[in-house]
Amino acid sequence: MTSPRSPSVTVFNNLLEPLEDFIQAQNQALPKHPNQKYTYLDFFRLIVYFYVSGSGSLKLLVQTRLNLGLLPERLGLRPVP
């Protein structure tokens, strides 16, 4: 069984695969802000999902579908603090 931090193979993950090395490098290269609770990798995945899903509002996506756990765990998207 996979955890949300290690997503299973999905079309969404296949879409991100060509960018995975770049995203990991950016995640490590960018300095972490003292108040930062969300990684660059998590942020990038969320933004890509927002555009691919056709959601009309990022705020609505985060406050309802994501933070209330209405999205499949297979996507590996975690709630925004």
Name the pTM for this structure.
0.75
Query: Of all residues in the chain, what percent are helix, strand and coil, respectively (each to 5)?
Result: 55, 0, 45
pLDDT tens-digit series, residues 32-80: 888 888 888 888 889 999 998 888 898 998 988 888 888 888 888 888 8
Alpha carbon 54 to chain centroid distance? Answer: 15
